[in-house]
Structures are given as C-alpha cells and as structure tokens.
Amino acid sequence: MRMYDIIENKRDGKELTDEEIQFFINGYTKGDIPDYQVSALLMAIYFQDMTEKERAILTTVMVQSGDQIDLSEISGIKVDKHSTGGVGDTTTLILAPLVASLGVPVAKMSGRGLGHTGGTIDKLESVPGFHVEITNDEFISLVNQNKVAVIGQSGNLTPADKKLYSLRDVTATVNSIPLIASSIMSKKIAAGADAIVLDVKTGAGAFMKDLNDAKELAKAMVSIGNHVGRKTMAVISDMSQPLGNAIGNALEVKEAIETLQGKGPEDLTELCLTLGSQMVVLGNKANSLDEAKARLEENLHNGKAFEQFKTFLRSQGGDISVAEDPTLLPKASKMVELPAKKGGTVASIIADQIGSAAMMLGAGRATKESEIDLAVGIVLHKKVGDKVEIGEPLLTIHANQSDIQEVQNKLYESIEIVESSVKAPLLVHEIITE
C-alpha cells in the first residue's frame, strides 16, 4: 500500500477502505509517513468529507493507537459526559455526584486543559487536599464503593490524535466535522465508558458558534459512538452567554455546591437535569427521561446529591469543611462591582468576551506552563433578558491584581443593554439520539 494512492483516492472523492485508514494512522503514529503526505490527505478530507463508515474506522484506529482504559471491573453501565467546552461550564462538578446519587457509576478521567478557566481537576483542587493522583486500581475500587471518582489523564491515550491534532493546527484543517468528531470521540472511547452523553455547545462562547455546525458535529459524534458500540446521544445547548453565574475555579466550585443543594442558578440547574436524565436512562437507572429528571431533582433538594459530593471529595483527600462552608475556598483580595451605565434589559453577555476577561484576571491557562489563580473570576448578577436599573451591579469582579481597568472596559464592551424587552435565549436547542 502506498500513501500516495490513499491521498489520490480521497482527493478524487473515493471512500477509503479500512486497510487504507489503518495504514495511514498507524504509519503516521509510528513516524513512517511524513507530515507532508498526511497534510495533503487531511486537506483532501477537509474538502471531500468522510462517510459514516470511514469516520467510525478512523476513530477506532485512533483509539487503538494507545492505551485504552479498562473499566470492566466496575459493575453497572459506566456513563461518561463530554462537553465541547464553554465559559463557566460547571456541569461536570455537579453531574458526577448527582447521577452517582441514583446509582450510575461515574468513572471520570479529566484534564486540566487550556481555556478561560481551568479544567475540572483545577476546579476541584480549590478544595484543600483533593487530589487525582491515584492508581487505576484505587480509581476502580473508589467507583465501585462510592459510584464516583476522578482520575487525571493517562499519559498515552490516543497518541495518533495528539499527532494529527498538532498537524491540523498548522495546516488549516482543524475545522472539519469528520476530523473533529473522530478526535473527540477517540478520546472518550479510549477512556472506557459504555455510554456517552455529549453536551455540544453553540453560540459566541462555543467552539461551534453556529447552530447548524453544532448540529452537524453532534450528529457526527453520535453516529461514531453508536457505530463502535457505545450508546451515545447529544444535547445541543446554548453558549451565547456564560452558563450559570460564576466564571472562575473556586467560584464555580461554590456554584456547584449551591446547585447540588438545590439553590443553583436556573440555567445551570436545568442543563444538569437535562444531561443528567440522559445519563441516568443510558445507565439503566430509570425507565424514562421524565422519571430520571424527577428523581434527580428530588436528590438536589433532599441532600442526597450534596452528600454524594462530600463522600467523593473525602474519598480523594478533600477537606469537606469547605463544602459545608464555601467561604473557606480560596478568596481573591478584592471584589469590585460593575455598575450598569444605563437602565434597560440585558440583550447580550458575549460568552467568549467574558471568558477573555476571566483569563485577564488569571483564571485560565494560556499555555500548558501557566499558573492558574484559583480565587479569581467573575460572578454575574444579571443574565440575558433581565431588567437592570442604572447603577445596579451587573456583575462582581474577584481580582488579585491592583489594576483592573482593562478588565472593566472589556466587560462593559461585552454586555449590551437595550431599551426594548429581550427574551432569554433557548437553553436546550435539540437532543440528538441517532
């Protein structure tokens, strides 16, 4: 087999065979096929697309390029959730203990990642003592015992994806549905879950800003998951404004605690219930979405979800007095309110701009080496559709730096207030199951 012929076939719009896909992925991972040939093939895929069958094979071969986590020692159907990423997306912190409280085993492998705030692990590390450096055996026994545990990302998961992603990054081929879908799904599948719930975000703060692109990506990922034998479904949710009120690591932990006690922001709570009920049904712990949702809601109010969260923190070394008294979480040295310059209705809170402001405060990582300030961030007091009076605080900035003028300017630019009335954006656009 020659790489030249594979490039030519794809260039001419032919469907690649399983063997051709295996040949190029394995050859590239081993270093036998040069970057320039793979670049040409990626560009051909960008223009010619891939069939559902090609996408499923590509994903499977990428999964097989590295370690695969074996969760078979955990009893029950292991359900994982993946978000394509947004601003102030606190859902994992809430969903993991919430669905575990109904007996769905959550074996979560999580990362730190780059972005406006840290990843789930960074956020959890604002709880003193909490750690994810546990062995695979400890991880599995914790999930069997408590139904929920989080472990740091393994070193050698989907090396083929790592190499391809870096190459796509410099060859203008990131933005291709088959390549994005197989990249995301390969990592999820290698992490071992039996079933996967995807939260595909759309809007200014999302990777897929356009709703139709988000739908297409969601369908592609659901198809791949189901083709390779993992029950998969997707929720397309709004990320035009940040989710919930808090953006920042410790601030989001506090928001997660409040939500687990049934006192969280409406949008965040609603999205967690939507995603959670899908997870519970996939995990065979309820017969219908309505039943699952009602039972999850009950556990937010009867203390069970919060108890589960504390058990989870304690089992991984976390100091649970922080959960009982969130004022013990890392705190910024100053809190400054941003007053509205005029009265009216909030028409937009541009999610990615708010994310950049959080980044300027030090809440996120620009490079792998950057240090995160767990205490800083932004807490919104108004969301799109809310009325506001002149001088009323739109949000509070939590900062550790002396000069926040630039951050304030950025925030003012990201929030639009109009005189007419405005409806809150639809939170869940669509649910895709097949």
Active site residue ranges: 82, 161, 168, 183, 187
* CA–CA distance, 373 with 249 (Å, rounded to integer): 8
Report if residue 180 touches ligand URA, rule: CB under 6 A: yes
Amino acid at 129: G
Interaction partner, residue 246 (Ca ion, ligand URA, none; CB < 5-8 Å by kind):
Ca ion
Report if residue 396 touches Ca ion, rule: CB under 5 A: no
Interaction partner, residue 180 (Ca ion, ligand URA, none; CB < 5-8 Å by kind):
ligand URA
Report if residue 90 touches Ca ion, rule: CB under 5 A: yes
Interaction partner, residue 127 (ligand URA, Ca ion, none; CB < 5-8 Å by kind):
none
Task: Choose between 55 and 123: whose C-beta lies nearer to Ca ion.
Answer: 123
Evaluate the CA torsion angle 63, 67, 72, 75 in order and state its sign: negative
Interaction partner, residue 183 (Ca ion, ligand URA, none; CB < 5-8 Å by kind):
ligand URA
Rounded to whole angstroms, what are the CA distances from 367 to 67, 142, 188?
Answer: 25, 32, 23
Beta carbons of 432 and 226 less than 8 angstroms apart? no
Q: Which residue's structure tokens are 């223009």?
A: 47
Report if residue 205 touches Ca ion, rule: CB under 5 A: no
User: Site for ligand URA (CB under 6 A): how many residues?
Assistant: 7
Beta carbons of 424 and 203 less than 8 angstroms apart? no
Q: What is the Cβ-side half-sphere exposure of residue 429, based on CA atoms within 13 angstroms?
A: 19
Give the DSSP letter of residue 231.
E
* CA–CA distance, 91 with 93 (Å, rounded to integer): 6
Q: Is 425 exposed, middle or buried (0-12, 13-18, 19+ CB in 10 A)?
A: middle
CB of residue 370 vs Ca ion: minimum separation in angstroms?
21
- Binding-site string for Ca ion from residue 45 to residue 84, where x marks contact by CB under 5 A and - marks none: ----------------------------------------
Q: Which residue's structure tokens are 């939590």?
A: 398
Report if residue 244 touches Ca ion, rule: CB under 5 A: yes
Report if residue 233 touches ligand URA, rule: CB under 6 A: no
Report if residue 246 touches Ca ion, rule: CB under 5 A: yes
Interaction partner, residue 143 (Ca ion, ligand URA, none; CB < 5-8 Å by kind):
none
One-character DSSP codes across 135-198: -HHHHHHHHHHHSEEEEEPPTTB-HHHHHHHHHHHTTT-S--HHHHHHHHHHHHHHTT-SEEEE
Interface of this chain with ligand URA, residues 157 to 176, rule: CB under 6 A: 165, 174
Report if residue 100 touches ligand URA, rule: CB under 6 A: no
User: Site for Ca ion (CB under 5 A): how many residues?
Assistant: 4
CB of residue 216 vs ligand URA: minimum separation in angstroms?
14
Task: Choose between 85 and 362: whose C-beta lies nearer to ligand URA.
Answer: 85
Closest CA to 193 of 92, 281, 72, 93: 72
Stretch near ligand URA under the rule CB under 6 A, chosen from 37-45, 145-153, 179-187, 210-218: 179-187
Report if residue 183 touches ligand URA, rule: CB under 6 A: yes
Task: Choose between 179 and 250: whose C-beta lies nearer to Ca ion.
Answer: 250
Closest CA to 276 of 66, 60, 104: 104
Interaction partner, residue 184 (ligand URA, Ca ion, none; CB < 5-8 Å by kind):
ligand URA
The SS3 of residue 53 is helix
Interaction partner, residue 269 (ligand URA, Ca ion, none; CB < 5-8 Å by kind):
none
Report if residue 251 touches ligand URA, rule: CB under 6 A: no
- Binding-site string for ligand URA from residue 344 to residue 363, where x marks contact by CB under 6 A and - marks none: --------------------
> In the numeric block, which tokens belong to residue 136?
């695979």
Task: Choose between 83 and 202: whose C-beta lies nearer to Ca ion.
Answer: 83
* CA–CA distance, 422 with 348 (Å, rounded to integer): 9
Beta carbons of 105 and 97 less than 8 angstroms apart? no
CB of residue 201 vs Ca ion: minimum separation in angstroms?
13
CB of residue 190 vs ligand URA: minimum separation in angstroms?
12
* CA–CA distance, 291 with 159 (Å, rounded to integer): 40
Task: Choose between 192 and 203: whose C-beta lies nearer to Ca ion.
Answer: 203
Beta carbons of 105 and 286 less than 8 angstroms apart? no
- Angle, to 10 degrees, between the axis of helix 35-48 and the axis of helix 177-190? 110
Interface of this chain with ligand URA, residues 207 to 226, rule: CB under 6 A: 207
Report if residue 88 touches Ca ion, rule: CB under 5 A: yes
Range list of H helices, 246-303: 249-260, 266-282, 289-301
Beta carbons of 232 and 196 less than 8 angstroms apart? yes
Closest CA to 181 of 16, 361, 49, 344: 49
Report if residue 184 touches ligand URA, rule: CB under 6 A: yes
**Interface contacts to Ca ion, rule CB under 5 A:** 88, 90, 244, 246
**Interface contacts to ligand URA, rule CB under 6 A:** 165, 174, 179-180, 183-184, 207
